[in-house]
Amino acid sequence: MSLRGKMSLWIIVPVTLVFLTVISVVGTAVRKTYMSQLEDNVLTTTFRYANQVQNDLIHLTQTAEKLRDGFIGLRETGATREQYDSLLRSTLEGDPFIFGLYTVWEPNLLDGKDHVYRGKPGYNDDGRYTPWVARSGSKATIQPCTAQGGYLKPGGFYLDIKDSGRARIFPPATWTFEGDKVTVVDYGIPIIHRGEFLGAIYSELELSGIREIVENITPLDTGYASILTDQGIYVASPEDELLGERSDNIKLDRIIEEILQEKTYSITSDHQGESMLHQYVPISIQGVDRPWIFELVFPMGKAMAPIRKLTVTLAVVAAVSLIFLACLIWYISRRITDPVRNVASIAGKAGSGDISAREGDFGPMAKDEVGELARSLALMLEAQRDMIGQARNQSDRTSEKARSITERSDATARAMEKVRTAVFQLINDLETSSASLEQANAGIEEISGGAISVAERTTDGAEIAARTSDRAEKSASHMSSLMEKVTLAEQASRSGSSDMEQLGESVGSISSFVETITKIADQTNLLALNAAIEAARAGEAGKGFAVVAEEVRKLAEESSVAAGSIDGLIGNLQSQTKASMEMTKENASDMSEALILAQDTKNYMEESIKDIRDLNEAIQDIAAVSQEQAASSKEMALVLDSVTSTVAQMVDRIRTVGDSSEKTLEIAKSMVFDSEDLMENTEKLREDMGRFKL
């Protein structure tokens, strides 16, 4: 994958994830906030509707309390039962919200006249005051409450209040009144005066008004409301068949438990595929410890429509933003990666030996890390071109020096071969002269044996002396030639030593260039490491810089390896040059010693020639003066012994010269081999330098 693709991938993917995460978090937060606000609004709305119902029930309780207080006041004044009836009628007629009023008194506790009213119209057989005032048209009619199955029923509406001594609101009851079916709810409170239970008074509320309120509660058209008693019996509901029935909600007991603690409660359900929120709040009734329940069913699906629309809008905006962001990132990555790709291409070419790129080949250089990297790479390539050019020129000069040394070493070897041949020839001649001198010595000894023998041998001695003189002169001539060749060999050795020293200096110069290249490679490697560190600090945006830094580091390592290889070759070259210099110096030293030995030999030979000439003259004198032969024979024998010894010494010394010439020849051949090896290494160095394209 390209650097641009990687940058785009590593930027777009995290940004997309972050963007989607932000959208998701924001959407979730907005949804939760909206849900919370919606639930709060639903709860507030539920309380508002519940308060409307509660206000009607409060009117019901207030009416009962007013009647209770009025009855106690009338009782204190000794009012008649007609006055009590009048209070009931006036209260009912003056309050259109009340459907009916009734009261039940304990026997004889109203006025003590129950026996008077037994069996009279409007009374039961017990004569107790138990009137029920109901609305009949615009008038109020009075009739007695039912005794059996009514106020005398155990657990009924009267005995329940009497036994508990507390107010109570009763479940709704539906019955027919004057041909109409009505549903009413009764609220009763005890009449207690001075700690004595006197009876109970009740107010009735027809539920049509409350039902009308409930029917008008339709939040978002599909919502609805219901009112339940503390036992979960429907008082008002949009479904008439549920009135008076107990709710079948599986959580009804939990709802009642929470409501009895004056708490709110909510649940969700699915109704015809739509999510509905059921909010329950208490309807508190004064004096009653068990509140009723107001239920508001809110269609959350419709309520969440704006959120869903907002979610779709956010998704569309997010998609458009991501597309725009992707295009922007692609464009920016292209602006970043094109210079990086160009630098990487030039670095790759440099890694393969093509360092011909100039600063203009890098294109426009921005004032940023990539531009700095391009400028640094251009400067590094320029420095490498200079160093490699100098090294190439120096290697050419070294090659020429090595070729010259090879030619001179070869000439030295050929000269030493001739010297060796001449030395061996001289040794043969000296050995022949030594044999002749031995023969002459034998002749002199014979001469000393008798004058006659001496006289006879004088002629032979003269001839032998003449031959010896000739051979000695030839030996001297050969020795002169040997000295000239040894002198030439010494000069060649000294010249070779000078050339080898120059070669060593050239190799040292190349070594310094290689050290410079190595330092440049190390500095480049350090620069690449610094660039990699800066790229790591830049994080994901610096990945491209890290790739280029890695390529530059590899180039620096390859340059360092090549420099190390060249340094190894130069080390071998220096070792061989040093060995050749040492051999050349040893050769020059041996040549100097050989020249000294040859000079000594020449001196000895000149002395021998002089002695031989003297011998020849002596023999001639012997021939002339044979009489003196006997006296001189002993002296001649001594002279011949000396000459023989001198010749033997000359042979030994010339043998030493021969050995030295052999060693010098071997050194010269070794110099030839070393010079050829030096030329091969130099050619290899030139080939290595030729790999670089400047």
Q: Is residue 302 part of a domain?
A: no
Whole-number pLDDT of residue 469: 67
Q: Is residue 279 part of a domain?
A: no
Task: Indicate the burial class of 331 (C-beta count within 10 angstroms; 0-12, 13-18, 19 or more).
Answer: exposed
Whole-number pLDDT of residue 647: 62
Quote the CA–CA distance of 183 and 659 in Å, as a whole number. Answer: 152
φ, ψ of residue 134 in degrees (nearest 5)? -125, 155
Whole-number pLDDT of residue 310: 75
Whole-number pLDDT of residue 637: 66
Quote the CA–CA distance of 584 and 496 in Å, as a whole number. Answer: 7
Q: In this structure, what DSSP letter does residue 657 have?
A: H
Q: Is residue 80 part of a domain?
A: no
- Nearest residue to 476 via CA among 514, 422, 411, 554: 422
Residue type, 75: R
Count other C-beta atoms under 10 Å from residue 362's C-beta: 21
Whole-number pLDDT of residue 72: 95
Statement: the pTM of the whole predicted model exceeds 0.85: no
Q: Considering just the CA atoms, what is the radius of gyration of the chain in Å? A: 71
Whole-number pLDDT of residue 573: 65
Quote the CA–CA distance of 423 and 400 in Å, as a whole number. Answer: 34
Q: Could you state, in chain order, the average pLDDT of each consecutive group of 10 residues for the chain (694 residues)?
A: 68 80 81 80 88 85 93 94 94 88 94 92 91 84 83 88 91 83 90 95 88 86 89 88 88 93 90 84 86 90 74 82 83 72 76 74 71 76 78 76 76 75 73 71 68 66 72 72 71 69 68 71 76 74 71 74 73 72 71 74 74 73 66 68 72 73 75 75 74 66
- Nearest residue to 368 via CA among 521, 523, 541, 203: 541
Q: Is residue 521 part of a domain?
A: yes
Q: Is residue 139 part of a domain?
A: no
| Model pLDDT for residues 66-103, shown as the tens digit of each residue | 999 999 999 999 999 999 999 999 999 888 888 899 99
- Nearest residue to 503 via CA among 369, 674, 354, 377: 674
Residue 11 is encoded by which pair of tokens? 């930027």
Q: Is residue 175 part of a domain?
A: no
Whole-number pLDDT of residue 462: 67
Q: Would you say 339 and 374 are in contact if contact means Cβ atoms under 8 Å apart?
A: yes
Q: Is residue 385 part of a domain?
A: yes
CATH code of the domain covering residue 657: 1.10.287
Cβ within 8 Å of residue 556, ≥6 positions away: 521, 522, 524, 525, 527, 528
Counting the structural domains of the chain, the total is: 1
Q: Would you say 300 and 268 are in contact if contact means Cβ atoms under 8 Å apart?
A: yes
Quote the CA–CA distance of 521 and 553 in Å, as a whole number. Answer: 9
Residue range(s) defining the domain that contains residue 464? 371-690
Cβ within 8 Å of residue 360, ≥6 positions away: none
Count CA atoms within 13 Å of residue 177 on its CB side: 17
